[in-house]
C-alpha cells in the first residue's frame, strides 16, 4: 500500500495534481475540504457544524475531520493506497493520521509539498473565485486561510522532515511540470518497496519459464522452490538426497525442508525490487507460511496471478516435456504426471480460491506462444509495479 499526502498552501494546485496522481497510481483520493463541502451541501449535522468555520476560513475541529476520514478509509479496504489532500493540516492531525494508518496496518509513505509563494497562491485563488462558487473563495477569507496555513499548517512539515518522508516540488511551475515532478517522487517511493507476486498455474501451464522470464525482465528475485530443491539434489546434499527420494515417488516435500530455503533466499535478497514466487504456496498451510514470511519483512502480497490452460493441453505439454532433456524426475511417467495434476487440484486450487477472496486473483490465459503469454503477464506485472 502506498499512501501519499499532498501538501501546500491553499491554491497550490493540490486538487489539480491529485486528480492526475490518483489516476496514475490507482490511489483512493481523500480531500477533507471536498468531503466537508459534500456534508455542507447535504446539510448534514456534520456539515452544519462546519459551515460557519469554513465560510470564515478557519479550521474545522478534529472530531469532525476524524469522522469523515475514518468513514472513507474503512469503506475502501480494496484501495491500493490513499492520496490525502488537505490533511494533515495541523501538527496534531499528523498524529491522527499515524493512528488511522496503523489501524490499516499501513503508514504514510510520503508527504509532498507543492511550494508556492503566498502572493501567487492568493492570485490563483482570486482567479478561481470567479468560477468555484465556494463560500471561502473571497479575498478576506483567503487572507484568513493563508494566516491559518502559516500558523497551524506549516508545522506539519517539521513532523515529516523529522520522519524522513518529506519531499518538495516547485509548485510555481506549469501544471504539467509539477505533475512530472510529483510522479517522479511517487515512482521513486514505489521502487523502494519490494513487490511480492505469487504465480499460480497447473503443472505444465508455463508458470516456471514465465516466472523466470518475468523476474529477469523486471529485475525481481525468482523464488521457485523446485529449482532450489533441484540445486540441493544436484549438490547431493543430505537434504537433496531426501528430496530426490520424495520426487521419485511423486510426493510433496515437507514444509520443514522448504521454508528454511525460502527464508534464506529472502534474507539474501535484501535490496531487490521484489519477488516472484512460483511453486509456493502449494497448500493452504503454506499460504499462511508465505503470509508470515512476507509479513516479517513488513510487507504483504502485492499480486496473485493464475495462468490458466485446458487440462488436455497441460497433459500434452507435460508428456512432450517428459520426452525431452528437460524431463523432471517428477514427470517421467504418466502416473506421476496425473498425481501432480491431482495434487494441484486438491491442494493448490483451494489456495488460489483463498487468495481470490482476500487479494483478488488475476487470471491469465496461458494458451498460445510463450511470447504471447509473456506479453500478457508483462502488462499485468508492469501495472502492479507502478500501481497504475
Ligand atoms: P480545502 O478544500 O482543502 O481548501 O479546505 C476548505 C476548508 O475546509 C478549509 O479552509 C477548512 O475550513 C476545512 N478543512 C479542510 N481540511 C481540513 C482539515 N484537515 N482540518 C481542519 N479543517 C479542514
How many angstroms is it from 269 CA to the middle of ligand 1?
A: 44
Ligand 1 pocket residue status of 65, Cβ below 6 Å: yes
Residue 286 has pLDDT above 80, yes or no: yes
* pLDDT (mean) for 288-315: 92
Contact 116, 13 (CB under 8 A): yes
Q: What confidence category does residue 387 fall into, taking pLDDT thresholds of 50, 70 and 90? A: low
How many angstroms is it from 8 CA to the middle of ligand 1?
A: 12
The tens digit of pLDDT for each residue in 11-39 reads 999 999 999 899 888 899 999 999 999 99
Whole-prediction pTM: 0.66
Closest residue CA from atom 1 of ligand 1: 33
Instruction: Work out which ligand 1 atom sits closest to the CA atom of 57.
Output: 10
The tens digit of pLDDT for each residue in 213-228 reads 999 998 899 999 888 9
Query: What pLDDT, on the 0 to 100 scale, is given for residue 194?
Result: 86
Contact 225, 293 (CB under 8 A): no
Closest residue CA from atom 8 of ligand 1: 33
Ligand 1 pocket residue status of 224, Cβ below 6 Å: no
Residue 292 has pLDDT above 60, yes or no: yes
Ligand 1 pocket residue status of 250, Cβ below 6 Å: no
User: Of 106 and 369, which is predicted with more confidence?
Assistant: 369
**Cell numbers placing 313:** 493441453
Q: What confidence category does residue 300 fall into, taking pLDDT thresholds of 50, 70 and 90? A: confident
Instruction: Work out which ligand 1 atom sits closest to the CA atom of 32.
Output: 16
How many angstroms is it from 86 CA to the middle of ligand 1?
A: 6
CA neighbours closer than 13 Å in the CB half-sphere of residue 348? 21
* pLDDT (mean) for 85-106: 93
Fold of the CATH domain 4-192? Rossmann fold (3.40.50)
Ligand 1 pocket residue status of 13, Cβ below 6 Å: no
Q: What confidence category does residue 65 fall into, taking pLDDT thresholds of 50, 70 and 90? A: very high
Q: What confidence category does residue 384 fall into, taking pLDDT thresholds of 50, 70 and 90? A: confident
Region for 369 from its dihedrals, namely left if φ exceeds 0, alpha if ψ lies in -120 to 50, beta otherwise: beta
How many angstroms is it from 81 CA to the middle of ligand 1?
A: 21
Query: What pLDDT, on the 0 to 100 scale, is given for residue 386?
Result: 64
Q: How many angstroms separate the Cα of 242 from the Cα of each of 76, 254, 308, 339?
A: 48, 10, 32, 19
Ligand 1 pocket residue status of 196, Cβ below 6 Å: no
Instruction: Work out which ligand 1 atom sits closest to the CA atom of 58.
Output: 12
Average pLDDT of the chain is 91
Distance CA 281, CA 248 (A): 21
Instruction: Work out which ligand 1 atom sits closest to the CA atom of 148.
Output: 10
* pLDDT (mean) for 243-270: 87
Residue 330 has pLDDT above 70, yes or no: no
Query: What pLDDT, on the 0 to 100 scale, is given for residue 329?
Result: 67
> Looking at domain 195-385, which of 3.30.9.10, 3.40.50.800, 3.40.50.300, 3.40.50.150 is its CATH number?
3.40.50.300
Residue 68 has pLDDT above 90, yes or no: yes
| 4-7 β-sheet, strand order | 28-31, 82-85, 4-7, 110-115, 166-170
Residue 46 has pLDDT above 80, yes or no: yes
How many angstroms is it from 63 CA to the middle of ligand 1?
A: 13
* pLDDT (mean) for 369-379: 96
Closest residue CA from atom 6 of ligand 1: 33
Ligand 1 pocket residue status of 305, Cβ below 6 Å: no
Query: What pLDDT, on the 0 to 100 scale, is given for residue 252?
Result: 73
Residues of the chain with CATH 3.40.50.300: 4-192, 195-385
User: Of 379 and 298, which is predicted with more confidence?
Assistant: 379
* pLDDT (mean) for 344-361: 94
Distance CA 106, CA 110 (A): 12
Angle at the Cα of 306 (from 304 to 309), degrees rounded to 5? Answer: 175
Ligand 1 pocket residue status of 136, Cβ below 6 Å: yes
Residue 84 has pLDDT above 90, yes or no: yes
Amino acid at each position: 500500500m502506498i499512501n501519499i499526502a499532498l501538501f501546500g498552501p491553499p491554491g497550490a494546485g493540490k486538487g489539480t495534481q491529485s486528480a492526475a496522481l490518483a489516476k496514475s497510481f490507482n490511489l483512493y483520493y481523500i480531500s477533507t475540504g471536498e468531503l466537508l463541502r459534500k456534508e455542507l451541501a447535504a446539510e448534514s449535522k456534520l456539515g452544519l457544524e462546519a459551515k460557519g468555520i469554513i465560510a470564515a476560513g478557519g479550521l474545522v475541529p478534529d472530531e469532525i475531520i476524524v469522522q469523515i476520514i475514518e468513514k472513507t478509509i474503512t469503506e475502501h479496504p480494496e484501495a491500493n493506497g490513499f492520496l490525502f489532500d488537505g490533511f494533515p493540516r495541523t501538527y496534531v492531525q499528523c498524529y491522527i493520521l499515524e493512528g488511522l494508518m496503523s489501524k490499516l496496518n499501513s503508514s504514510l509513505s510520503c508527504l509532498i509539498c507543492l511550494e508556492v509563494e503566498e502572493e501567487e497562491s492568493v492570485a490563483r485563488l482570486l482567479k478561481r473565485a470567479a468560477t468555484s462558487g465556494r463560500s471561502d473563495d473571497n479575498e478576506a477569507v483567503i487572507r484568513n486561510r493563508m494566516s491559518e496555513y502559516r500558523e497551524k499548517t506549516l508545522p506539519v512539515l517539521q513532523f515529516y522532515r523529522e520522519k524522513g518522508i518529506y519531499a518538495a516540488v516547485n509548485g510555481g511551475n506549469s501544471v504539467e511540470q509539477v505533475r512530472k515532478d510529483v510522479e517522479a517522487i511517487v515512482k521513486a517511493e514505489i521502487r523502494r518497496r519490494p513487490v511480492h507476486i505469487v504465480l499460480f498455474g497447473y503443472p505444465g501451464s508455463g508458470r516456471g519459464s514465465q516466472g523466470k522470464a518475468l523476474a529477469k525482465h523486471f529485475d525481481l528475485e525468482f523464488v521457485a522452490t523446485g529449482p532450489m530443491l533441484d540445486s540441493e539434489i544436484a549438490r547431493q546434499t543430505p537434504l537433496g538426497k531426501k528430496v530426490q527420494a520424495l520426487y521419485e515417488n511423486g510426493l510433496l516435500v515437507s514444509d520443514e525442508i522448504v521454508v528454511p530455503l525460502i527464508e534464506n533466499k529472502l534474507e539474501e535478497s535484501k535490496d531487490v525490487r521484489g519477488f516472484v514466487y512460483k511453486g509456493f504456496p502449494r497448500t493452504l498451510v503454506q499460504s499462511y507460511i508465505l503470509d508470515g514470511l512476507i509479513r516479517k519483512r513488513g510487507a504483504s502480497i502485492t499480486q496473485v496471478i493464475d495462468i490458466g490452460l485446458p487440462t488436455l493441453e497441460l497433459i500434452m505439454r507435460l508428456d512432450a516435456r517428459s520426452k525431452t532433456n528437460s524431463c523432471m524426475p517428477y514427470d517421467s511417467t504418466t502416473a506421476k504426471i496425473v498425481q501432480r495434476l491431482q495434487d494441484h487440484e486438491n491442494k493448490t486450487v483451494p489456495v488460489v480460491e483463498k487468495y481470490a477472496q482476500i487479494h483478488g486473483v488475476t487470471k491469465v490465459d496461458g494458451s498460445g506462444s510463450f511470447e504471447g503469454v509473456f506479453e500478457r503477464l508483462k502488462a499485468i506485472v508492469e501495472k502492479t509495479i507502478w500501481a497504475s
